[in-house]
């Protein structure tokens, strides 16, 4: 059906006329002798019943006529090719920077299977839903780096998120939670963006305890560049199994620790930049949060589709007219009857 | 056709053909078909050149002038007209149908017969005997024959000459003068003809239309057979088709002539645009 993908019929009901063709064919066959004046002759046998070329042409002419009518019916159905030069005006989306905390506490198991994995999954779903936006990823712990600069290639972004490997990062990065650094790095990436709306989704599960830039300075920066910051606090209320030490073999020792989130800071960042603060205590909550952000950052998609129609009835009708002309011409010249 | 029309037509044919049979035909017919034996008819005064042996002495003595006895042929002949009225008779391209021409011919023959005091009967046949009028004398009988010829509608359309001949053989006990008038678009009547030809004085008259002999180029024609009702497209512009048609006609005509002559019967063939009187006169002259 690939062939017909770009073709359509404007009045497909006209094809119902094709149902009449067999009836017409039968009618033509039944009345084949009535078309011409009949010559009542005393002894038809004596002509020997030869089938000359003209005799053979009679059914051919009839079929040509039927073919012409078929083509006409198709012509009436108005076939046309559709060339959708769609999405010519791709809506400019917004730029979203995901700032993800990858400190050791993100392995806490209050979200399933742990905070980081839950986050990764939700973030990917979120990206999938917003095909017109550009995304970037900033990871931070004791220090921050840009995993993916802002890009419209969402596949790369999703892949990068999927590939976040805590253990690798654990070895590379300084320990701690430098919210300020994370935010500042994200801001840095967004500052040159020309998008209508610039958004940072800042996720953390702790308190700013290290870093060269303190969160308030980062906040000022964000405000400076007109960046909206949504903040998400991850972690249940109370206690959660959190890695507290590393075994000699590299595995973590889990102990219930009190969940500490600097909610005041996050709320402040959110409110001052025009964003919102959310608290995700479990997986479903986290999902909801992303859905809400999705709603809040609704970009109006103005998609203008240009349909370029090319009417194709012409060849059908022209061939039909040609056929009828040929049939008529033969009928009244070469195959004429003087009776 | 209303009765009035029929009568009008019958009258027309009567006038036309009676004149023919009186003036041109009568004598030829009379001498062509001879009866058997002589009967006394009258006495008349002797004229120079009469055979003296026929002088009636009794009358001569009474009147004192020579009188002579006149004998006449004993004519109690039966003429049977067998006419093919199958579908093919409804064809004709030269001003009249074959059937119309046949009607005139039959009328002429019938009037000639009554004039010579012969009985006339009629058989109309197709592939069945459609009508049989037993032989009778008289003008009104001839008029009835003509009326039937004009108005009779046959039930069948095909031709079976052999069957008609068998019927003539069975229905006529005595020897009769039989005219079989048809277009002879038929086959396999030769054997029957041999038998019937021995019993009766048979003459076959083949009536055909010139177009049946030479079909002109009419282009691609839808033809309907008058006898079978079958329809076909015939390409008359094709030379081979026309040649075959002509060959078939000639073969048919040849078969007609040969089979009649073989059985000792006479043949006349006449086209619808030809003169049947001429042909018949020729025939009668050749006979007598």
Q: What is the 3-state secondary structure (H, E, C) of chain B?
A: CCHHHHHHHHHHHHHHHHHHHHHHHHHHHHHHCCCCCEEEEEEEECCCCCCHHHECHHHHHHHCCCEEEEEEECCCCEEEEEEECCHHHHCCCCCCCHHHHHHHHHHHHHHHHHHCCCEEEEEEECCCEEEEEEEECCHHHHHHHHHHHHHCCCCCCCCCHHHHHHHHHHHCCCCCEEEEEECCCCCCCHHHHHHHHHHCEEEEEEEECHHHHCCCCCEEEEEEECCCCCEEEEECCCHHHHHHHHHHHHHHHHHHHHHHHHCCCEEEEEECCCCHHHHHHHHHHHHC
The mean per-residue pLDDT over the stretch A180-194 comes to: 87
**pLDDT at site A85:** 67
The first and second tokens of residue A174, run together, are 């300084």
Domain with CATH 3.40.50.410 in chain A: 95-296
- Rounded-to-integer distance, Cα B263 and Cα B196, Å: 8
**pLDDT at site A91:** 58
Contact B91 A40 (CB under 8 A): yes
| Cis amide bond preceding A21, omega within 30 | no
| pLDDT of residue B28 exceeding 50 | yes
The mean per-residue pLDDT over the stretch A135-151 comes to: 88
Give this prediction's pTM. 0.61
A47 to chain B, any CB pair closer than 8 A? The answer is yes
Total number of domains in chain B: 2
Residues in chain B within 8 Å Cβ distance of A38: 222-224, 231
Residues in chain A within 8 Å Cβ distance of B231: 33, 38
Nearest CA of chain A to the CA of B78: how many Å? Answer: 32
Q: Which of B244, B158, B232 is nearest to A38 (CA)?
A: B232
The model's pLDDT over B109-142, given as tens digits with 9 standing for 90+, comes to 898 888 888 899 999 999 999 999 999 998 899 9
Strand partners, A140: A101, A144
- Rounded-to-integer distance, Cα A67 and Cα A324, Å: 9
Closest chain B CA to residue A49: B234
The SS3 assignment for A182 reads helix
Compute CA distances A318 → A264, A286, A315, A324, whole Å: 78, 65, 5, 10
Contact B212 A42 (CB under 8 A): yes
Closest chain A CA to residue B238: A52
| pLDDT of residue A237 exceeding 50 | yes
How far is C-alpha B142 from the chain's CA centre?
13
B213 and B83 share one domain:
yes
Contact B249 A46 (CB under 8 A): yes
Closest chain A CA to residue B230: A44
The mean per-residue pLDDT over the stretch B186-214 comes to: 93
Q: Which of A42, A49, A52 sits opposite B88 (nearest CB)?
A: A42
B250 to chain A, any CB pair closer than 8 A? The answer is no
Nearest CA of chain A to the CA of B136: how many Å? Answer: 33
| pLDDT of residue B210 exceeding 80 | yes
B54 to chain A, any CB pair closer than 8 A? The answer is no
Q: Which of B98, B223, B241 sits opposite A39 (nearest CB)?
A: B223
B68 and B202 share one domain:
no
**Predicted confidence band at B1 (pLDDT cuts at 50, 70, 90)?**
low
Closest chain A CA to residue B243: A47
| pLDDT of residue A296 exceeding 60 | yes
Q: Which of B286, B92, B111, B95 is nearest to B207 (CA)?
A: B92
Closest chain A CA to residue B98: A42
Query: Rounded to the nearest 10 degrees, how much is the dihedral formed by the CA atoms of B198, B183, B211, A33?
Result: -140
The first and second tokens of residue A88, run together, are 């010519």
**pLDDT at site B240:** 92
The mean per-residue pLDDT over the stretch B47-64 comes to: 91
Contact A42 B227 (CB under 8 A): yes
B109 and B46 share one domain:
no
Q: Which of A39, A45, A49 sits opposite B221 (nearest CB)?
A: A39
The model's pLDDT over A99-110, given as tens digits with 9 standing for 90+, comes to 988 888 888 888
Contact status, residue B111 vs residue B103, Cβ threshold 8 Å: no
- Rounded-to-integer distance, Cα A242 and Cα A110, Å: 9
10 Å CB burial of residue B95 (0-12, 13-18, 19+) is: exposed
Q: Tell me the average pLDDT of chain B.
A: 89
Strand partners, B129: B125
The SS3 assignment for A245 reads strand
Nearest CA of chain B to the CA of A321: how many Å? Answer: 24
| pLDDT of residue A90 exceeding 60 | no
Considering only the top CATH level, what class is A95-296?
alpha beta
B62 and B182 share one domain:
no
Q: Which of A339, A77, A89, A41 is nearest to B211 (CA)?
A: A41
10 Å CB burial of residue A104 (0-12, 13-18, 19+) is: buried
Q: A62-76, A194-208, A314-328: lowest mean pLDDT where?
A: A194-208
B50 and B157 share one domain:
no
B67 and B93 share one domain:
no
Q: Which of A157, A208, A158, A151 is nearest to A184 (CA)?
A: A208
The mean per-residue pLDDT over the stretch B87-96 comes to: 90
The first and second tokens of residue B273, run together, are 């645009």
Q: A116-120, A223-227, A248-252, B48-52: lowest mean pLDDT where?
A: A248-252
DSSP state at residue A28: H
Closest chain B CA to residue A34: B222
Strand partners, B201: B177
B12 and B134 share one domain:
yes
Nearest CA of chain A to the CA of B141: how many Å? Answer: 31
B105 and B195 share one domain:
yes
Contact A52 B223 (CB under 8 A): no
Mutate: best of A37, A43, A335, partner B, most B CBs <10 A: A43
Reported ipTM: 0.79
Residues in chain B within 8 Å Cβ distance of A41: 91, 223-226
Contact A50 B225 (CB under 8 A): no
The first and second tokens of residue A170, run together, are 């654990």
How far is C-alpha A95 from the chain's CA centre?
18
**pLDDT at site B234:** 92
**pLDDT at site A92:** 64
Residues 144-163 of A with CB under 8 A from B: none
| pLDDT of residue B49 exceeding 80 | yes
B94 and B234 share one domain:
yes
- Rounded-to-integer distance, Cα B225 and Cα A46, Å: 11
**pLDDT at site A115:** 85
B66 and B145 share one domain:
no
B162 and B116 share one domain:
yes
B83 phi and psi, to 5 degrees?
-120, 130
| pLDDT of residue B40 exceeding 60 | yes
Mutate: best of A36, A44, A331, partner B, most B CBs <10 A: A44
Mutate: best of A30, A38, A41, partner B, most B CBs <10 A: A41
Contact status, residue A335 vs residue B234, Cβ threshold 8 Å: no
Q: Domain containing B122 — which CATH number?
A: 3.40.50.410
Q: Tell me which residue has tokens 């009008």.
A: B8
B101 and B81 share one domain:
yes
- Rounded-to-integer distance, Cα B25 and Cα B282, Å: 11
Q: Give the domain extent around B112.
A: 3-30+75-287
């Amino acid at each position: 059906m690939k062939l017909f993908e770009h073709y359509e019929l404007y009045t497909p009901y006209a094809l119902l006329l094709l149902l009449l063709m067999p009836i017409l064919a039968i009618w033509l066959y039944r009345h084949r002798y009535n078309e011409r004046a009949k010559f009542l002759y005393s002894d038809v046998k004596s002509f020997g019943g030869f089938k000359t070329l003209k005799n053979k042409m009679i059914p051919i002419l009839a079929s040509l006529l039927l073919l012409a009518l078929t083509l006409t019916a198709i012509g009436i159905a108005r076939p046309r090719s559709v060339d959708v030069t769609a999405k010519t005006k791709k809506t400019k989306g917004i730029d979203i920077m995901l700032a993800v905390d990858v400190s050791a506490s993100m392995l806490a198991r209050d979200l399933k299977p742990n905070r980081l994995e839950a986050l990764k999954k939700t973030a990917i779903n979120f990206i999938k839903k917003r095909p017109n936006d550009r995304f970037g990823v900033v990871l931070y712990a004791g220090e921050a780096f840009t995993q993916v600069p802002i890009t419209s290639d969402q596949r790369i972004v999703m892949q990068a998120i999927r590939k976040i490997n805590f253990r690798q990062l654990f070895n590379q990065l300084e320990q701690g939670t430098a919210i300020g650094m994370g935010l500042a790095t994200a801001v840095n990436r967004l500052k040159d963006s020309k998008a209508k709306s610039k958004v940072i989704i800042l996720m953390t599960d702790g308190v700013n305890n290290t870093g060269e830039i303190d969160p308030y300075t980062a906040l000022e920066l964000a405000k400076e560049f007109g960046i909206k910051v949504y903040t998400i606090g991850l972690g249940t209320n109370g206690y959660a199994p959190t890695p507290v030490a590393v075994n000699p073999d590299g595995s973590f020792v889990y102990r219930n620790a009190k969940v500490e989130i600097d909610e005041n800071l996050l709320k402040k960042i959110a409110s001052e930049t025009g964003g919102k603060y959310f608290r995700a205590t479990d997986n479903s909550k986290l999902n909801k949060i992303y859905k809400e952000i999705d709603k809040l950052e609704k970009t109006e998609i103005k998609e203008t589709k240009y349909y370029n129609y090319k009417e194709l009835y012409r060849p059908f009708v022209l061939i039909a007219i040609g056929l009828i002309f040929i049939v008529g011409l033969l009928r009244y010249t070469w195959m004429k009857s003087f009776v | 056709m209303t009765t009035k029309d029929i009568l009008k037509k019958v009258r027309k044919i009567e006038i036309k053909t009676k004149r023919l049979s009186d003036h041109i035909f009568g004598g030829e017919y009379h001498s062509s078909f001879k009866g058997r034996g002589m009967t006394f008819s009258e006495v008349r005064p002797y004229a120079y050149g009469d055979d003296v042996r026929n002088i009636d002495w009794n009358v001569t003595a009474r009147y004192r002038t020579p009188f002579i006895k006149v004998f006449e042929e004993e004519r109690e002949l039966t003429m049977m007209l067998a006419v093919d009225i199958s579908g093919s008779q409804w064809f004709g391209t030269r001003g009249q149908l074959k059937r119309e021409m046949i009607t005139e011919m039959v009328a002429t023959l019938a009037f000639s017969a009554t004039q010579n005091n012969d009985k006339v009967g009629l058989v109309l046949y197709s592939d069945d005997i459609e009508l049989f009028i037993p032989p009778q004398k008289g003008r009104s009988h001839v008029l009835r024959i003509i009326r039937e010829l004009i108005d009779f509608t046959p039930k069948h359309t095909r031709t079976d000459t052999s069957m008609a001949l068998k019927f003539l053989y069975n229905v006529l006990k005595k020897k009769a003068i039989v005219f079989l008038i048809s277009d002879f678009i038929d086959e396999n009547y030769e054997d029957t003809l041999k038998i019937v030809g021995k019993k009766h004085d048979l003459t076959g008259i083949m009536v055909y239309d010139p177009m049946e002999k030479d079909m002109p180029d009419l282009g691609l024609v839808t033809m309907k057979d008058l006898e079978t009702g079958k329809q076909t497209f015939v390409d008359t512009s094709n030379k081979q088709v026309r040649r075959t048609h002509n060959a078939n006609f000639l073969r048919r005509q040849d078969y007609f002539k040969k089979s009649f002559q073989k059985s000792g019967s006479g043949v006349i063939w006449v086209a619808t645009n030809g003169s049947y009187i001429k042909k018949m006169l020729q025939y009668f002259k050749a006979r007598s």
